[in-house]
């Protein structure tokens, strides 16, 4: 272990992580058991490159995000593109997290040194701009350095593919092929890799192309700027604001009132403990701003602006944050109606843990519907896609512009919807009631168990498989589906689904990005209150099973 750590330190180009590792080695060599444990934690393996790329806490060693790991990943991706005969070109983007710009430049230099044509985005920009650039530039791959909505000390590495993959994120077996190429690089020394600095830096025209294409996805506002619904916006210390502001203006919408404490990129995320709009408290400042200015909508992007959260006035002087499913219903309904009006056929899609409400919308408008595995890499690849979403605040409103979730285009769609409703004397809250009247009163909820020991996740799933519940909260389980056994249209996956009497559904799965077991509960009833009561009952019943 000490030899591996010393070897790693010798090839580390970062003064900070090298000093961190050298200090641990010195302490461990002197018999410090805590230092030895820290080294074992960092050198027990290496970060697994999967369909989500890489994501981990910043720090020294192969199980952390650092310049050595990123250099190995960049060289491995480049070799994959070369060895598989794909286009030898790549675009690299980065967000505002700590070291994102450094990791992006390392990637550009290493891939250029291996002979690829490389374009680096001109500044810290949203993930959707990178996803757009893959298709717009016609390159073989795209790399986005981001940890999205993860804790402040994390960073990550996300990969998109061009060509036949049409700008979507990677899926198996490509992830394994890239991982094997990275392992091949990791067997050597990153100091032996040739670097080159003659890569291209994209101009402002590329960002403007994204702005123009996104702004064109909605019709012109019906109301004049001063009469449009008032919006409060937060970038949550991320990179969304400048691009979102340009998109809103290009589409003809009034500039939102911002949350000044959170509007500029800041990798320390000083006002939130967890920069995820789903987390309790994350939107408190935005909602307070909305109350102060009398906003009709409060909109939040996550730090890399590929997700969107929405809150609306609750009638008691505060705001209610809509769930990802509620936003998905409204945007899906809007997309289906627009497709029907245009005589367009196609498919609505959502991950299997998202609400079944979208299937009813598709049926009503004569569209196809498709469930996918969790992860937008699957949603974006549905043939004939008109609209897709995940309950985790991800929405794809125009597959012709970006083949990934996009929190900026989704925000624009909500501004357009709110404008159209206001022009007819209605609101988002009214529209939710209309949805229930039209399609049924759906409700959804979640239970999550965070673990310190990852083996606990496997134990929970094994216990559920060995002793499946016959009822939950007094409601009979009519069907149990284990996706590990293979379900038509899905690869084997660690997912359990329980269908209950009365169109209720409970799905259990390990989180793909956090040390959690997550439970998704969906119901439909005669009224929203009745549906929510059943969600609460089922949540109480399932909580002990996953704790």
Question: Pick from 418, 439, 460: which residue ends a domain?
Answer: 439
Confidence (pLDDT) at 323: 96
d(CA 205, CA 209): 6
Q: Which domain holds residue 156?
A: 45-202
What's the Cα-to-Cα distance from 65 to each of 50, 103, 275, 542, rounded to whole Å? 15, 9, 18, 35
Residue 128 domain-assigned? yes
Signed CA dihedral, 244, 246, 250, 255: sign only? positive
Q: Structural domain tally of the chain? A: 4
Phi and psi (nearest 5°) for 284?
A: -60, -45
What is the CATH classification number for the domain harbouring 239? 3.40.120.10
Confidence (pLDDT) at 193: 98
Burial bucket for residue 474 (CB in 10 Å: 0-12, 13-18, 19+): exposed
Beta strands, E only, 147-302 = 154-161, 168-169, 200-201, 231-234, 257-258, 297-301
Is the same domain home to 179 and 63?
A: yes
pLDDT tens, position by position, 488-547: 888 889 999 999 998 999 999 998 767 899 999 999 999 999 999 999 999 999 999 998
- Going by C-alpha positions, the residue among 78, 80, 48 that lies closest to residue 62 is 48
Is the same domain home to 179 and 51?
A: yes
Kindly state the DSSP code that residue 12 receives in the 8-state scheme: -
Burial bucket for residue 465 (CB in 10 Å: 0-12, 13-18, 19+): middle
Beta-carbon count within 10 A of 329 CB: 27
- Going by C-alpha positions, the residue among 140, 159, 131 that lies closest to residue 70 is 159
Confidence (pLDDT) at 185: 97
Is the same domain home to 352 and 447?
A: no
Do you know the residue count of the chain?
547
Is the same domain home to 449 and 384?
A: no
Confidence (pLDDT) at 316: 87
Exactly one of 148, 355, 416, 444 is catalytic; which is it? 148
What is the CATH classification number for the domain harbouring 536? 3.30.310.50
Signed CA dihedral, 342, 343, 346, 350: sign only? positive
d(CA 501, CA 354): 19
Is the same domain home to 127 and 138?
A: yes
Is the same domain home to 471 and 407?
A: no
Strand arrangement of the beta sheet that strand 297-301 belongs to: 257-258, 231-234, 297-301, 308-313, 319-321
In the numeric block, the tokens 């109480």 are attached to 540
Confidence (pLDDT) at 512: 74
pLDDT tens, position by position, 467-501: 999 999 999 999 999 999 888 888 889 999 999 99
For the chain, the distance separating the N- and C-terminal CA atoms, rounded to the nearest angstrom, is: 35
Residues of the chain with pLDDT under 50: none
Active site residue 225: no
d(CA 120, CA 126): 14
Q: Write a three-state SS string for 164-199.
A: HHCCEECCCCHHHHHHHHHHHHHCCCHHHCCCCCCC
Is the same domain home to 501 and 387?
A: no
Phi and psi (nearest 5°) for 381?
A: -95, 5
Residue 54 domain-assigned? yes
Confidence (pLDDT) at 315: 85
Question: Pick from 292, 315, 338: which residue ends a domain?
Answer: 315
Residue 380 domain-assigned? yes
Is the same domain home to 147 and 49?
A: yes
- Going by C-alpha positions, the residue among 275, 306, 305 that lies closest to residue 377 is 306
Is the same domain home to 430 and 479?
A: no
Is the same domain home to 298 and 356?
A: no
Is the same domain home to 479 and 531?
A: yes
Is the same domain home to 333 and 301?
A: no
DSSP notation for 350-361: EETTS-THHHHH
């Amino acid at each position: 272990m000490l030899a591996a750590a010393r070897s790693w330190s010798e090839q580390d180009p970062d003064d900070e992580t090298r000093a961190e590792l050298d200090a641990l080695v010195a302490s461990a060599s002197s018999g410090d058991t805590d230092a030895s444990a820290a080294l074992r934690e960092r050198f027990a393996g290496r970060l697994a490159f999967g369909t989500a790329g890489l994501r981990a806490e910043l720090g020294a060693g192969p199980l952390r995000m650092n310049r050595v790991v990123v250099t190995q990943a960049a060289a491995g991706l480049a070799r994959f593109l070369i060895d598989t005969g794909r286009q030898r070109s790549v675009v690299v983007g980065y967000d505002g997290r700590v070291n994102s710009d450094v990791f992006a430049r390392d990637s550009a230099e290493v891939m250029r040194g291996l002979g690829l044509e490389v374009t680096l985005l001109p500044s810290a920009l949203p993930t959707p701009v990178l996803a757009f650039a893959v298709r717009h530039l016609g390159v073989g791959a795209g790399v986005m350095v981001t940890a999205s909505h993860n804790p402040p000390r994390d960073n990550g590495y996300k990969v998109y593919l061009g060509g036949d993959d049409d700008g979507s994120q990677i899926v198996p077996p490509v992830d394994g092929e890239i991982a094997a190429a990275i392992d091949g690089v990791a067997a050597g020394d990153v100091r032996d890799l040739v670097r080159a600095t003659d890569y291209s830096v994209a101009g402002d025209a590329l960002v403007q192309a994204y702005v123009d294409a996104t702004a064109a996805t909605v019709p012109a506002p019906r109301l004049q700027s001063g009469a449009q619904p008032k919006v409060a916006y937060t970038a949550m210390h991320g990179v969304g604001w400048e691009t979102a502001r340009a998109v809103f203006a290009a589409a003809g919408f009034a500039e939102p009132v911002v949350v000044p404490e959170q509007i500029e990129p800041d990798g320390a995320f000083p006002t939130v403990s967890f920069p995820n709009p789903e987390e309790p408290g994350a939107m408190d400042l935005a909602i307070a701003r909305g109350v102060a200015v009398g906003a009709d909508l409060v909109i939040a992007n996550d730090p890399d602006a590929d997700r969107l959260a929405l809150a609306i006035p609750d009638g008691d002087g505060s705001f209610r944050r809509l769930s990802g499913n509620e936003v998905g219903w409204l945007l899906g309904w809007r997309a289906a109606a627009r497709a029907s009006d245009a005589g367009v056929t196609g498919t609505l899609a959502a991950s299997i843990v998202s609400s079944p409400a979208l299937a009813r919308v598709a049926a009503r408008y004569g569209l196809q519907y498709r469930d996918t595995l969790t992860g937008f890499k699957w949603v974006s690849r549905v043939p004939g896609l008109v609209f897709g979403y995940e309950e985790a605040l991800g929405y794809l409103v125009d597959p012709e512009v970006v083949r990934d979730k996009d929190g900026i285009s989704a925000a624009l769609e909500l501004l357009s919807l709110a404008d159209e409703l206001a022009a007819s004397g209605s609101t988002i809250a009214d529209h939710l009631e209309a949805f229930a009247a039209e399609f049924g009163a759906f409700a959804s909820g979640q239970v999550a168990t965070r673990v310190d020991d990852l083996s606990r996740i496997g134990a929970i799933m094994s216990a559920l498989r060995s002793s499946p519940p016959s009822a939950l909260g007094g409601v009979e389980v009519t069907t149990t589906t284990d996706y590990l056994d293979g379900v038509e249209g899905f690869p084997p996956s660690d997912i359990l689904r329980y269908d209950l009497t009365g169109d209720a559904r409970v799905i259990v799965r390990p989180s793909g990005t956090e040390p959690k077991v997550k439970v998704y509960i969906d119901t439909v009833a005669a009224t929203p209150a009745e549906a929510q009561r059943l969600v609460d009952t089922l949540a109480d019943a399932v909580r002990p099973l996953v704790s």
